Amino acid sequence: MIEIDHLTKIYKLNKKQQKEMKTKDTIKKAVDDVSLTVNAGEIFGLLGTNGAGKTTTLRCLATLLKPTQGQITVDGLDVVKDSEGVRRKISFLTNDIKMDPQFSPDYLFYFFGRLHGMDAADIESRKKELFEYFGISEFKDKKVEELSTGMKQKVSIAVSLVHDPEIVIFDEPTNGLDIVTARAVLDYLKKLKDEGKTVIVSTHVMSEAQKLCDRIAIIIDGRLVALGTLDELEAQTQTSDLEDAFFEFYKIHGKEA
């Protein structure tokens, strides 16, 4: 179980960032007092528009960023005080982690397996399973830079799952993928759930969240504005689809409101 308790993350902005963001503010509150619980064995969706704070929230959860305020625990382990213990339980897939283009999928898989303290036999059997599932086998000795976008993404997914983690955190896993590849990735998330894993996924694609997630948290401008099953979110807004529900919440909580 994952508990996010009053999480706030404030970034300091340098001159360049101020210019880019067209603001005189010296800080940006990217996540504003978010509390939520992710239950073991569910697919939990973080839904929000660009800049809502999805990646920041997930990076705090994945021990890559320190919360400014608040606490996050993973199965009782604090992400700051026991970051190593948390890292053993999770995998984190994000678009900003780049694989070294010179290396092959085969090498990278082995390298990350060793990093997680796995022995060669375990790495090999895990590689067989994941490379076969994602159709990586025939590309396994090519350089990452020679692979298509979709194949690169599948390789990063396989590599991120080498240690067979209990909790899988995916930041916009289908970003930039065609529908066939996206479907393969989403099907894999369902498979992980069927195996009893906990999956947390961020997206701004409504149809994806609608089909995939047991529960959905809607984040607008760093704040959690709604949380529930698809049915609950629709009932709360008297709508019959997630996109309509999202816009109802956006009308109330969006910047223009």
Where do contacts with Mg ion occur on this chain (CB under 5 A)? Answer: 54-55
Sign of CA dihedral 14, 17, 22, 25: negative
User: Could you tell me which residues come within 8 angstroms of residue 159 by beta carbon, excluding any fewer than 6 positions away?
Assistant: 99, 105, 108, 109, 112
Catalog residues that contact ligand ATP under the rule CB under 6 A. 11, 13, 17, 28, 30, 48, 50-56, 204
| Minimum distance from residue 116 beta carbon to ligand ATP (Å) | 26
> Rounded to an integer, what distance in angstroms lies between the CA atom of residue 241 and that of residue 218?
14
| Minimum distance from residue 204 beta carbon to Mg ion (Å) | 9
DSSP 174: T
Residue 87 binds which entry of Mg ion, ligand ATP, none, with Cβ cut-offs from 5 to 8 Å by kind?
Answer: none
Nearer to ligand ATP, 62 or 136 (CB): 62
Nearer to ligand ATP, 54 or 87 (CB): 54
> Rounded to an integer, what distance in angstroms lies between the CA atom of residue 103 and that of residue 93?
18
DSSP code string of 38-92: E-TT-EEEEE--TTSSHHHHHHHHTTSS--SEEEEEETTEETTTTHHHHHHHEEE
Nearer to Mg ion, 55 or 63 (CB): 55
Residue 53 binds which entry of ligand ATP, Mg ion, none, with Cβ cut-offs from 5 to 8 Å by kind?
Answer: ligand ATP
Residue 102 binds which entry of Mg ion, ligand ATP, none, with Cβ cut-offs from 5 to 8 Å by kind?
Answer: none
| Minimum distance from residue 63 beta carbon to Mg ion (Å) | 17
Nearer to ligand ATP, 30 or 213 (CB): 30
| Minimum distance from residue 141 beta carbon to ligand ATP (Å) | 33
Q: Is 3 helix (H, G, I), strand (E, B) or coil?
A: strand
Residue 48 binds which entry of Mg ion, ligand ATP, none, with Cβ cut-offs from 5 to 8 Å by kind?
Answer: ligand ATP
Nearest to 6 by CA among 60, 47, 46: 60
Nearer to ligand ATP, 48 or 150 (CB): 48
| Minimum distance from residue 55 beta carbon to ligand ATP (Å) | 3
DSSP 18: H
Nearer to ligand ATP, 7 or 130 (CB): 7
User: Could you tell me which residues come within 8 angstroms of residue 137 by beta carbon, excluding any fewer than 6 positions away?
Assistant: 131
| Minimum distance from residue 202 beta carbon to ligand ATP (Å) | 7
